[in-house]
Structure 1
Amino acid sequence: MTRPLARLLYLLAGLVGRLPWSWLMRLGDAIGAAWLRLNARESRVALCNLELAYPDMLPAQREQWRGAILRTTGRQMMETLRLWTRPHALNLQMLREQHGVELFDAAIAAGRGVIVAAPHHGNWELLNQWLASRTPLAILYRPPESAIGEAFLNLVRADARQADGSDRVTQIRAEGPAVRQLFKLLGGGGVAGILPDQQPKAGDGEFAPFFGVQALTMTLLGRLAARTGATVLFAWCERIDTHRDGPGFALHIEAAQPDVANPDPVVAVAALNAAVERIARRDPAQYQWTYKRYTLRPPGSGEENPYWNR
């Protein structure tokens, strides 16, 4: 039943994705309002994260931010359904501005490999499609817990390959063999996309401050950069306007600070978190505050999972 259900979900996603943009935005706003009104998981997690990251914020302002985060998250869901089910060339017309493209082109031309660190800010699916339009690349991803969700994403990828006649994106599961694949790819001058702000499994990272709170952070990105000499770039697609004909985005690409590739993993993850935090602070409503970033706590700290009872 897994594949038929995934196919049904994909057909429904295609129908929703073909709605006018004004309808999609209103639907996204309605989803965000429902999360807030029902105190859904997304609403509870967003509030917990804001309490941790902005402890001095007045409660009224925190509630205002929570509403903005949920509304933006709802809209991002609708945008992504459309991006998954429409031609990539049409989607890329949503990019009104592009900054730092010359850094990306120069890094590829250097032939030492490129690591694109893409925080959960703005719309990362649009970024993936832009990257694929420029070069073949591998994207490290964490598979969904649901088998139906995994099958759904496989359908999205298959239809994307059929639409543009190529297979420019290789999806690599964030598991043991992924490390060997990525070392080989980067050693050959390839491009890898990594989401740097996902909490790794215990033992696969180091703790470093993120908005002033210790967060377990992946060491893989720093190890890859240190051992292969690959160039590390941060990239994101930030929402800059919304019209009846759809939202507009600005593509940003920036060079990473050298310490992101420091051989000392503690130094590297601290630099990584600092860079992601700076990007998230540009517009906090566009960052994925509905994600449980602080679940695992430093050993011996006596701290509990802050999301218990949330």
Structure 2
Amino acid sequence: MGDRTAAAAYAAGWRLVRELPEAPGRAAFRAMADRAWRARGPGVSRLEANLRRVAGPGATAAQLRALSRAGMRSYMRYYYEMFRLPAMDAATVLGRTRSEGVDVLEAHLAAGRGVVAALPHMGNWDHAGAWIAMRGTPLTTVAERLRPESVFERFTAVRTGLGMEVLPLEPGQGNGAVTGTLARRLRSGGLVCLLADRDLTEGGIGVRFFGEDARMPAGPAALAERTGAALMPVSLWYEGAEWRIRVHDEVPVPDLPDRRARVAAMTQRMAGVFEGAIADHPEDWHMLQRVFTADLDGPPPGPDALGPAVPGASPGGRSGVR
């Protein structure tokens, strides 16, 4: 899809989704998910390759295909709700959200201690950001600056309008200024929300994840270790018409003499929390990209091996540091 076509498609999505009644809008996005799933393009192939690790070796091909179909429906639900979110009032967002553990997170902030909320690509993280902002807690996050620029700017404007501070990450460049800003927000007792289940840099931390080697970003643990902020994994999933949010227990800084070892141990602990959350709600893990080390250097799986060419990251950039 060319930049101009992508920009037009996203602009139409934001406009039409707000104009359509909710029921036919959701049905349309569900139909798009099913069409994409049946096309068996590289996006679904990668999703199924990742879900194969979650489901384990005992899962049949039919079970895996059913899981990836549910995953695509959940993924397109994210897009539908992202487009519609600016038109949702606070009563709807707050009333349809069920959470646990947020009281501990908010207690840290009330006491002046910063929090790094680390999230996997689950459920609807934009909704979660809007939800906590509506509860009176501003947050800072980041988004990779991707093309087309107009779509990135629209995503950023939407997130900013929902109460989020969005710092742009420049792909392929150093982002020391962004890291410095995040550290300042945390030292001043702020909330920083970062997507953290896939590394996009050469500086990721090796972890064991669903019994295999994978790499996850060092940023969340490094920021918490450096600033004294609490590192709190957060999982998101859907339950019928409701959004579910769980803030997990803080990942403590281990008593190790080497900073690198401390960050690595914290990242592995975070990966273990993600693993349990994803295993409980695998259909809501929207991972259409390579995450396991064994996949990083190989070709994408073919349709015979697995099973819509849906972009892994929106042109506006997913919010969160990877």
TM superposition score normalised by structure 1: 0.83
Could you say which residue in structure 2 is the equivalent of 1:253? Answer: 247
> Unpaired runs of 5+ in structure 1?
162-167, 242-246
C-alpha contact (below 8 Å) 1:222/1:260 kept by paired residues: no
Secondary structure of 1:258 counterpart: coil
Q: CA deviation at 1:3?
A: 9.7
List 4+ stretches of structure 1 deviating above 6 A.
2-5
Which residues in structure 2 correspond to 1:1-310 (within 5 Å)? 6=7, 9-10=10-11, 12-53=13-54, 54-83=56-85, 85-133=86-134, 134-157=136-159, 160=161, 168-174=163-169, 175-202=175-202, 204-241=203-240, 247-258=241-252, 263=259, 264=261, 265-294=263-292, 304-305=297-298, 307=300
| Cα distance in 1 between the residues matched to 2:48 and 2:14 | 29
C-alpha contact (below 8 Å) 1:260/1:271 kept by paired residues: no
User: 1:100-157: per-residue Cα shift (whole Å, max 9, x none)?
Assistant: 2311221112212111112211111110101222212211222234323313313424
Q: Percent identity?
A: 22
Larger relative contact order (Cα-Cα within 8 Å, sequence gap ≥ 6): 2
C-alpha contact (below 8 Å) 2:235/2:274 kept by paired residues: no
C-alpha contact (below 8 Å) 2:99/2:245 kept by paired residues: yes
C-alpha contact (below 8 Å) 2:119/2:193 kept by paired residues: yes
| Cα distance in 2 between the residues matched to 1:90 and 1:8 | 29
C-alpha contact (below 8 Å) 1:36/1:70 kept by paired residues: yes
Q: CA deviation at 1:4?
A: 11
| Cα distance in 2 between the residues matched to 1:261 and 1:225 | 14
| Cα distance in 1 between the residues matched to 2:87 and 2:6 | 21
Q: CA deviation at 1:192?
A: 0.7
Number of residues of Structure 1 aligned to a counterpart in Structure 2: 291
Distance 1:308 1:157, change over 3 A: same
Q: CA deviation at 1:234?
A: 2.4
C-alpha contact (below 8 Å) 1:27/1:75 kept by paired residues: no
Q: CA RMSD in A?
A: 2.8
The AA in structure 2 aligned to 1:307 is P
User: 1:3-29: per-residue Cα shift (whole Å, max 9, x none)?
Assistant: 998588435412223322221221122
| Cα distance in 1 between the residues matched to 2:63 and 2:291 | 22
Secondary structure of 1:255 counterpart: coil
277-286 or 12-21, which deviates more? 12-21
TM superposition score normalised by structure 2: 0.80
| Cα distance in 2 between the residues matched to 1:184 and 1:117 | 17
C-alpha contact (below 8 Å) 2:116/2:230 kept by paired residues: yes
Q: CA deviation at 1:195?
A: 0.8
C-alpha contact (below 8 Å) 1:219/1:268 kept by paired residues: no
> Unpaired runs of 5+ in structure 2?
170-174, 304-322
